[in-house]
Structure 1
């Protein structure tokens, strides 16, 4: 499915977590509308609604009516297939990290496959927590001046929205003029035979695999160390499709039954020459 630059941007949502200053929400709306984005999700904002939001939106007040308010980041990204968490500093465990430009190209590639994409921005004073960043497929960073890397959240949203628009325009040009080369970010793009799973489904996947590892005494629930986080990084980088997701969860269930001694093998009905369709 090929979509125009405007439609591609409609598949991208900006998520702001625990925003303190209403002015930053208004400035974010202005930045978004300037670059053609319209989806803003606020996760437990400190103050909303507020007159400063409309005042700072500077003509983008129509987007205020479209704002969605949710309680948790999981709620904000539950139906998304690809999530970028913005981060300006290194974390306990390295995560797939992209600068804003290749990240924007990756995002637009995903929207061209009909995927929903979220770009998540953290609190003004401390950004996103490690737990929140672990919900992302990639971490996104803006290559600022290392001697003065000071961007407030609204300025960062402006930069990201600009790069998203430029990537969307470049992709549209590639579609209409195939002679113009466009580099694939990670050489991993293809037409999937099954839809990719959403973040909501993955939040059911991770507890399942962790419980399976507990059941086989591989994971110590009292001392998990970094294993759960590394599993999230692994499967977030892979991006499972629906068939792979169901296959793996079936494997987890079988392993759990074997570990508990409750599995009874059904009588085989296929011959040795037959292949199972998975």
Structure 2
């Protein structure tokens, strides 16, 4: 059964361009039908970019049937082997997930997350809204790649929410934000969350992408090992905390280069000290 909805106004060209910088990423989807239903959910809300990460089964006839006319969204879906590849060029990555006790992330409701995502996209950044597997959601390594978590406040006595339904909830809030019907995010004047004119943006201060930050984090982890920072302790806890510190800093490309230069010198000095002590 198809439920008719009230006709929504078309988005202005500028807002449509902003919407095109928003992608919905489905990780490890187990049922091809959910891919089609997610495509339908996106098209209903005026969104078009669907990305699949290592789906267990490729989209098939069931996907097309449940897309119910959103075949263009389904057929244009990109496929990546890993989440890191799928969000490498993104400025902001928000993971839709149940609360996690092991990975501490800022938690946002869909209503708070949508204007933040739209503001980052309006500023020229690529934004990913990430959804996990139907049964198990996103794993801890995947959550580490997210800047914040979206938590849908479902009924605690029955919190099982279908994947496509979760996509629909978030996509609806994104559409409201694109139409200007959502409140601006807290701290919307901060860099990365404000609309920046292409005429006034300094190209040297281009915001760091997800790939830039992951490169920094990998070099930081290597450096901490080389200077024996952990002293026998497990490194995971310290790295989780350091990732949060740098993510809050909202680094640009030049700042990442500077930090990586500092780390490179620290690594060089550690190697020299190792040779001198040999």
**Does the pair score TM above 0.5?**
yes
Distance 2:264 2:164 in 1: 45
* Aligned Cα root-mean-square deviation (Å): 2.0
Q: How does 1:83-94 map to 2 (within 5 A)?
A: 83-94=93-104
> What's 2:127 paired with?
117
> What's 2:187 paired with?
186
Instruction: Using the TM superposition, give the Cα deviation of residue 261 of structure 1 relative to its aligned residue in structure 2, in angstroms.
Output: 3.1
Which segment drifts farther, 241-250 or 207-216?
A: 207-216
Tell whether the 8 Å contact from 1:134 to 1:233 is kept in structure 2 after alignment: no
Q: Select 1:24's aligned residue among 4, 26, 34.
A: 34
> What's 2:73 paired with?
63
Distance 1:79 1:225 in 2: 25
Find the residue that maps to 1:226 and give its secondary structure: helix
| Structure 1 position 159 matched with structure 2 position 169 | yes
Find the residue that maps to 2:79 and give its secondary structure: strand
Cα shift readout 1:164-216 (whole Å, capped 9, x = no counterpart): 00001117x9xxxxxxxx54423424556411111112221111011111222
> What's 2:224 paired with?
213
C-alpha spacing 1:220/1:60, structure 2 compared with 1 (3 Å): farther
Q: Which runs of 5+ in 1 are unaligned?
A: 174-181, 263-278
Which segment drifts farther, 229-238 or 60-69?
A: 229-238
Instruction: Using the TM superposition, give the Cα deviation of residue 137 of structure 1 relative to its aligned residue in structure 2, in angstroms.
Output: 0.6
Q: Which runs of 5+ in 2 are unaligned?
A: 1-11, 274-278
Cα shift readout 1:151-176 (whole Å, capped 9, x = no counterpart): 111000000000000001117x9xxx
Which structure 1 residue ranges, 4+ long, deviate > 6 Å from structure 2?
none
Distance 1:111 1:4 in 2: 11
> What's 1:224 paired with?
235
Tell whether the 8 Å contact from 1:80 to 1:117 is kept in structure 2 after alignment: yes
Q: How does 1:1-278 map to 2 (within 5 A)?
A: 4-170=14-180, 182-187=183-188, 188=190, 189-190=193-194, 191=196, 193=202, 194-220=205-231, 223-261=234-272
Instruction: Name the count of aligned residue pairs.
Output: 252
Which segment drifts farther, 206-215 or 233-242?
A: 233-242
